[in-house]
Amino acid sequence: MKLNYKVYPFQNSDPTKKSMGDIVILHGLFGSSKNWVTVARFLSEFGQVYAIDQRNHGDSPHSDEHSIPLMADDLETFLNQLNIQNPILLGHSMGGLVAMYFDLMHPGLLRSLIIQDIAPRSYPFAYDNEILSMSFPLSGFNSRTEIDTEMAKYVKDTFIRQFLQMNLEREEDGSYRWKLNVEGINHARRVFDDVFSFDRISNTRTLFLLGGNSEYIKESDLSIMDRFFKNNVKVKIEGGGHYIHFTHQKVFLEKLGNWLQNEFV
């Protein structure tokens, strides 16, 4: 599948700084490249950045099939099409699962791996309310405020609703539509099951950026990370949850930048 993406060319005010190479960002479930503009601009000080819309998200094509292996195949196609070699790969949540799977299936291909708040294991599809909040007919709604009020019946968290509404697009005739393939994602409820049920080891330099209060990371996950990724560093952002690139952006970028500088001096 040919994916939509946005490019952020390498730009650094210090003329002595050289590009580290290409950096590819993979968003999480219900996200898109649109959620990563600030991080992508920050990373463009280190190399050329590609922010991808994964299948069924953003402006990329929709498909009835939605799985981690298929998204890894999409990534391989993308890298080959643009002749990107030895990239730095950053993945959040679902994108992190894709990034880890891709690295384990393509040993030695990546320059380094950055994983945000996810572990290489199975996760339940616990997004019924999010799906419901995007499944009611949008005809008859005249504003985002009206849609938000209806969505609040299913998702109480304002932050999550605003995150989901980044996928809401207004047509020329004034009507609204979801850019997400909501139905396709809803039918892929086993997308996070048994992805890492194999024995493979990666020696890729890997950074795990974790939310200190995240519900996605258990203490037992740390040893799982070590089992698959032998050359890893774990950095916890205290007080942070699953969306630390939003909620704790300043410290997130600081930790990310420090690691990149230390890794590639």
DSSP annotation of 34: G
Q: Respond yes or no: is residue 248 known to be catalytic.
A: no
Asked if 206 contacts 229 with a C-beta cutoff of 8 angstroms, the reply is yes
Start-to-end CA distance of the chain, whole Å, equals 36
Rounded-to-integer distance, Cα 265 and Cα 261, Å: 6
Rounded-to-integer distance, Cα 96 and Cα 120, Å: 9
- Residue in 33, 44, 67, 93 annotated catalytic: 93
The 48-52 sheet, strands edge to edge: 5-8, 48-52, 22-26, 88-92, 112-116, 205-211, 232-237
Q: Respond yes or no: is residue 65 known to be catalytic.
A: no
CB atoms within 10 A of CB 158: 10
Asked if 201 contacts 100 with a C-beta cutoff of 8 angstroms, the reply is no
Is residue 140 exposed (0-12), middle (13-18) or buried (19+ Cβ within 10 Å)? exposed
- Residue in 62, 106, 183, 263 annotated catalytic: 183
Is residue 16 exposed (0-12), middle (13-18) or buried (19+ Cβ within 10 Å)? exposed
Sign, CA torsion 183/166/151/213: positive
Asked if 242 contacts 250 with a C-beta cutoff of 8 angstroms, the reply is no
Rounded-to-integer distance, Cα 245 and Cα 36, Å: 8
Could you tell me the two tokens for 103? 């690295």
Q: Respond yes or no: is residue 130 known to be catalytic.
A: no
- Residue in 27, 242, 245, 248 annotated catalytic: 242
Q: What is the phi/psi pair of residue 249, to 5°?
A: -60, -45
Query: Which of the residues are catalytic?
Result: 93, 183, 242
